[in-house]
Homo-oligomer: A and B are copies of this chain.
Amino acid sequence: MEKITVRAPATVANVVCGFDCLGFAIKEPFDEITISIIEEQTVKIKHLDNFNLPTEADQNVAGKAVLAMIEKIQSSDHKKPLSPPKNLEHIGFQIEIKKGIKPGSGIGSSAASAVGAVVAANELLGNHFRTNELLEFALAGEELASQGRHADNIAPCLLGGFTLVRSVDPLDIVKLEFPPLFVTVIHPQIEIKTSEARKILPQQIPLKTAVKAWSNLGAFVSALSKGDYELLARSMEDEIIEPVRKGLIPYFDELKKAGLKAGALGGGISGSGPSVFMLSKSQEIAQNVAQEMSGILDKNRIPFKAYVSEIDSEGTKVIPRRKA
């Protein structure tokens, strides 16, 4: 029986001045997705964790993403034959999901499941599809969770590093150059629904504020490419999203202040929260940042998880099988 296991990394989206477009992958935590071909025309989901996620394929982000892929292969406008040939009317997929990324944490849990599943399935199909096609299938899965077409977790999860979604329709993803960066993620164990976090956003913003935002994003992208840490720090400003969403996260201001004091370049809300991330120049600083931020939540008796990790530059990758 053919079987492929991939590792799909957590991702930070809505990176401060890059709301709805800028994201990056981190080395930890990650999901492990194993897909095998089965002799039954179906997509089965099996969970190797305790998150009680749906097991119906069309209700599960990984399942939905793989279903989108199968649909494409079977559609009349898809002329490219599978190599080696496979008749998907006689076979199906079993998806085993071992989530290392807690659902609802704000670090791309659903994106990891969706991307992991399509990358594994594609590997089983002899790398039949190109990157942009894989992104489209993963988007179909991600839509289940986020109720919208958002590629800012999907893209870095698949490609690694920093990515910018220039456009979702048509999909246009830009891989950004970046210098060594270390990430601290603090995940307070509370729940924020993405849909709720979207509801409180302003529909309209002042043009002046928008100009500030895009000036910062332009500077941030330039700082990444030049490895200019000081500019990176100065450009991590957000007057639009953070002020309205930070109220959903306990002790946000204190957490950020503590992170900056410990030497972080900057940071903010990861995705739509509740995770908070900070970027630092070194592993050592990122560790100190984690310690200082943890202190705030410890003191206030908020349970949390903390991760310190390098930016992941590989994205979702196949794990070589151990020899029996």
Question: Which residues of A come within 8 Å of B, CB atoms?
Answer: 17-22, 164-167, 172, 174, 176-177, 201-207, 210-223, 225-226, 231, 234-235, 240
Contact = CB atoms under 8 A, between A and B. Distances in A.
Nearest to A219: B166
A215 B176 CA distance: 13
B214 A165 contact: no
Copies in the complex: 2
A159 B21 CA distance: 30
A177 B211 contact: no
Contact of A217 (B204, B212, B217): B217
A199 to B, nearest CB: 13
A234 B166 contact: yes
Given A225-B225, A226-B177, A203 B213 contact: no
A222 B219 contact: no
Given A206-B203, A215-B166, A231 B19 contact: no
A80 B206 CA distance: 41
Nearest to A231: B174
Contacts of A216: 166
A22 B222 contact: no
Contacts of A202: 207
